[in-house]
Structure 1
Amino acid sequence: MPHASLRRRLPVVAIALALVGGPVGVAAIERGKPRARPPQPFRIGIVAPARSDAALDRLEPYRRRVGEVLGVEARVERLPDERALVAALVAGRIDQAGLSGAGYATARRSCGCVEPLVVPRAADGSAGFHAVVVVRTGSPITAPRDLDGRRLAVAGERAIVGRRLATALLTRDAGSAVTPRLETVEGPRAALAALIAGRVEAAMVWSTLEGDVTEGYGRGTLHYAVAAGEANMADLRVIWTSPVLPHGPQVVQSRLDEARRRALGEMLIDLADVDPAAYEAIEPVHGGGFLRIGASAYAPYLDLIEPPPAPAATTGAVPAGAVSSETDRPPSSTRAAADR
């Protein structure tokens, strides 16, 4: 039998050993365990000068909102132009960005790694526009097939929507045998002016085709010309329209988990009502709020962009000529200007 004094000392020794050896033992065990990685920040890409603090200040309400909704740090990454923005998405260096329709199509064709979440609506509720060919009232041109050999005013080579996409869609509907004589002008407003002045026989413009016809519809080249007293709809006739070409979307990386994509999409849908400052920060042009949209809505853009060579998906390269500085939104947007 142990001595009584020894029995009394054993609990004290055990406690002392626990106090001295316990933390060391726990630390040794913890060192053997893999440490959990901190959550990756959510990276929002924007087009802005690299040293422009004003761009960061403008986006701060949106950055803060995203961080609160997703429960992670949100960062803003500045890129010099849309080509660089697309390349950053393709390379996985950013998680979200607002793109033009052509920019989204380029990223999608390059890597298949992005998806559109929402599209902004203009104040009139429209979420897109149409490419439109107009002629003077009384013209013998009554259908796209009649444009063969006729002078058609279109925007310059850098205009992806106003020229490349619009003429591709027109050729699809008119037939490849129909070849108008393209007369290059500064943009849709100049094209319409050339038509009214009689220098061409048709003009490629854009319109929502919604609203009062006598006012040139609600938004677009015709509307602006009528409002400025430069045109009268009684003197013009529409002979062809493209499918709806949606405004540029807010896109995210497809690899983001479904819960995050859903949370971000729901936040964007409610953003204009719940947090107007954050909405204005991320969408300063179209004030009508966001609508959900899918990839199929951008089929006209996707069909225009040729699939790139295989290395593009791994290097972050962007097909040459796929994205230009001439973009596809109405005036005063930095991402697109369909009426230039």
Structure 2
Amino acid sequence: MITRRSLIVLAVGLAMTTPALAQSWKEKYPELVLALVPAENATGTLDRYTPFVNYLSKELGVKVTMRVASDYTAVIEGQKNKQIHIGFYGPGSYARANTVSGGNVVPFVTTKNSDGSIGYYSVMYVRADSTYKSIEDLKGAKLGFVDVESTSGFKAPNFFLTEQGFPIDKHFKVAQTTGSHENAVLALAAGTVDGAVNWWNSEDDSNLTRMLHKGMVKKPDGAPMKKDDFRIAWKSPLLPGSPFAYLGDMPDDMKKVITKAFVDAPQKDKEAFAKLSDGKDLGFVEVTARDYEESVKMNLWLDAQRKKKAS
């Protein structure tokens, strides 16, 4: 029989156990590691993300430590080995992390662009003073990639260009990795490559526009280059948004708190959130593994191609 006394006892019990539950994951995880693959140089990444990491530490009530990885594989392996709790990926590198971790790397949020869309593109830049205007024109040219685990800088161009009848190994004379998105742009500016692939959100939000804003891209005589000094010769179909992913075997209440902290960031620390994208993004939106099924298929296709070449 439920009495007033039993309800009071139940209420007191809930009041006592709820904080205990909230505290339990913090005791097991007094420090969280957030790892990032730099889309820009390490110094720029630290400057961009430090206020947001400080916000997360305050909001979650535990220390959040940021690590800027040298490449995508470092983040993938770090999460696989559970040394990294939250990783920031491109769709393709997330798919790799999810696979090698046995499904334990789980996407939970991505960003919403300034126009309200979710996702981004891979583009191939050429210099405006070149004769190249389309992918057809680049037959026999030199191409600059980013990293083999980069979606916009390697996976998507390989997948979609092959699908469109322009396989990289046959269409281009040379295809070389440059190591980072910034390096790919700098190689193009210097004339080391004829085309360079990179990420692109919109006309005023891309790796190129961020680099130009910082004055990082210069002509051989040292004069700063402008947006009009480049043009896009190829653009991929829309790719799913780059996700933040956590370890799936962490406590459910912990994962909910982490997700909420990200989603609430634009309201709770507007400046820290705005700094992540120079004020271009509108907010974080929740995602699941189902949103990246096509990315997994892309990875499987690329793996199959590598095996064919190796055999």
TM-score past 0.5 threshold: yes
Residue pair 1:114, 1:252 contacting (<8 A) in 2 also: yes
Choose the corresponding residue for 2:33, options 18, 42, 45. 45
Residue pair 2:88, 2:243 contacting (<8 A) in 1 also: yes
Residue pair 1:131, 1:241 contacting (<8 A) in 2 also: yes
**Structure 2 counterpart SS, 1:174:** coil
* Equivalence for 2:235: 241
CA distance in 1, matches of 2:50, 2:213: 38
Q: Deviations 1:163-210 (Å, cap 9, x if unpaired)?
A: 532441322333448421125485332344256xxx76x412435362
Displacement of 1:108: 0.4
Displacement of 1:112: 0.9
Runs of 5+ unmatched residues, structure 2: 1-19, 37-48, 216-223, 302-311
Displacement of 1:151: 0.5
CA distance in 2, matches of 1:59, 1:159: 25
Choose the corresponding residue for 2:104, options 107, 113, 121. 113
Residue pair 2:76, 2:96 contacting (<8 A) in 1 also: yes
TM-score, normalization: structure 2?
A: 0.57
Alignment of 1:98 with 2:87, yes or no, is yes
Change (3 A) 1:245 1:271: same
Residue pair 1:115, 1:295 contacting (<8 A) in 2 also: yes
Change (3 A) 1:86 1:140: closer
* Equivalence for 1:325: none
**Structure 2 counterpart SS, 1:39:** helix
**Structure 2 counterpart SS, 1:112:** coil
CA distance in 1, matches of 2:238, 2:116: 14
Alignment of 1:270 with 2:259, yes or no, is no
Change (3 A) 1:184 1:194: farther
Q: Which structure has the highest helix share of the two?
A: 2
* Equivalence for 2:189: 193
Residue pair 2:89, 2:242 contacting (<8 A) in 1 also: yes
RMSD of aligned Cα (Å): 4.6
Alignment of 1:171 with 2:171, yes or no, is no
Runs of 5+ unmatched residues, structure 1: 1-35, 49-54, 68-73, 212-216, 308-340
Q: What is the percent sequence identity of the aligned residues?
A: 20
* Equivalence for 1:28: none
Residue pair 1:124, 1:218 contacting (<8 A) in 2 also: no
CA distance in 1, matches of 2:294, 2:166: 17
CA distance in 2, matches of 1:58, 1:87: 24
**Structure 2 counterpart SS, 1:115:** strand
* Equivalence for 2:79: 89
**Structure 1 counterpart SS, 2:164:** helix
CA distance in 1, matches of 2:174, 2:137: 14
* Equivalence for 1:182: 174
Q: Deviations 1:315-336 (Å, cap 9, x if unpaired)?
A: xxxxxxxxxxxxxxxxxxxxxx
Choose the corresponding residue for 1:230, options 225, 234, 237. 225
Residue pair 2:126, 2:188 contacting (<8 A) in 1 also: no
Residue pair 1:100, 1:247 contacting (<8 A) in 2 also: no
User: How many residues were matched structurally?
Assistant: 245
